[in-house]
A = this chain, B = another copy of it.
Amino acid sequence: MPKDRVFNFAAGPSTMPLEVLREAQSELLNYGETGMSVMEMSHRSKAFQAIHEDTKARLRALLKVPEDFEILFLQGGATLQFAMVPMNLIGRTGKADYAVTGSFAGKAADEAKKYGEVRIAASSKEKNHTYIPAQDQLDLHEDASYFYYCANNTIYGTEWQYTPQAPAGVPLVADMSSDILTRYIDWDKYAVVFAGAQKNMAPAGVTAVFVNKAYVGNALPISPVMLDYAAMIKGDSMHNTPPCWCIYMMDLMLKWIDAQGGIPAMEERKRARSKLLYDVLDSSSLFKGCAEKGSRSFMNVTFVTGDPEIDKRFIAGAKERGIENIGGHRSVGGMRASIYNSMPIEGVQALADYMKEFEKQG
């Protein structure tokens, strides 16, 4: 880590590998032999088409995405998917089931209510979203167009440790913004998986959407063309100009993940990173983890001291050591260490060491 760089634990946008940033920097004025920056390239040019194809191919290979899924790069973030999903999928039965395990899952359910009947399959709100419901706690219906859940809850630091099982014929839809590319996905169960890129994949401004073609073509008549998966598939994400730079950065990031050893390596690292911090929490009498043990997130480790003044002092001390952005989300307070694919183990070790030292010094 160069002296002028910090360890950035932000929840998204978030840290990126130095190698990836250096590559972007080195070819910023002239990509390949094109004589121009990727930022200046026509999205219809051969050079950009090659970048786009490579990004799709790498995502497909890394995550073993079957051919019946299309990979789209869309704008508007996960929040626009909260509307796009029901606009395209809820028409089948007019109803859908939602698990509300956090703020963003709740927003997704609220958005879907504009387009059909939404039933809450489970809510962890009564325990401040500190746990993920078990399969037998899910109230699921055979007439649901789909069952929706958010795989990792960034704000609360919880993560589904299992893939839920919906009734026969009911596909899953999942927001995987904060844990995409950290494990394999059981594709056969899904209609749509989406992920805002700014945590594990790229800078903010592009959302990867994996769409099972079997569920496409039934968008509600009031859907804007940009919110119709069929139109986006037909245009290969280029119905209009896509966010080219963000797709290019995702390509660099996927190359880097490939070079590290792909999903198995990302999975091993996420376990190693999160273990460092949870081990400190489990042996601490000062810091308390927020999430229930069986529901702990590999990506966002949330904790408190119980005293907002001490939290504040801890966060300020961290900043002095180049450990940045470990304050909790403004809606919950405390601390949160977001440790996505790009966070080096050295950064997590530095935070774990500081936690122990802070506790010892009192």
Q: Which residues of A contact B (CB under 8 A)?
A: 2, 4-6, 8, 10-16, 18, 21-22, 24-25, 28-30, 34-37, 39-45, 75-80, 82-84, 87, 107, 111, 114-115, 196, 198, 203-206, 221-227, 239-246, 249, 322, 324-325, 330
Contact = CB atoms under 8 A, between A and B. Distances in A.
Given A13-B241, A21-B28, A39-B249, 10 more contacts: A10-B41, A39-B203, A40-B203, A75-B75, A79-B239, A83-B224, A83-B226, A115-B222, A204-B245, A205-B244
B75 A241 contact: no
Nearest to A221: B114
A78 B75 CA distance: 12
Given A205-B245, A249-B39, A83 B5 contact: no
B5 A30 contact: yes
A79 B225 contact: yes
Contact of A241 (B24, B82, B204, B242): B204
Question: Most B CB atoms within 10 A — which of A206, A242, A243, A324?
Answer: A243
Given A29-B21, A325-B45, A5 B36 contact: yes
17 contacts: A8-B36, A8-B40, A13-B39, A13-B41, A14-B40, A18-B29, A45-B325, A75-B205, A79-B225, A83-B224, A83-B225, A83-B227, A87-B224, A111-B224, A114-B223, A204-B241, A205-B245
Contacts of A11: 42
A35 B13 contact: no
Nearest to A249: B39
A83 B221 CA distance: 12
Contact of A75 (B29, B80, B222, B223): B80
Given A111-B225, A240-B77, A21 B35 contact: no
Nearest to A27: B25
A209 to B, nearest CB: 14
Contacts of A226: 76-77, 79-80, 83
B28 A24 contact: yes
Given A10-B45, A14-B40, A225-B83, A204 B242 contact: yes
A262 to B, nearest CB: 23
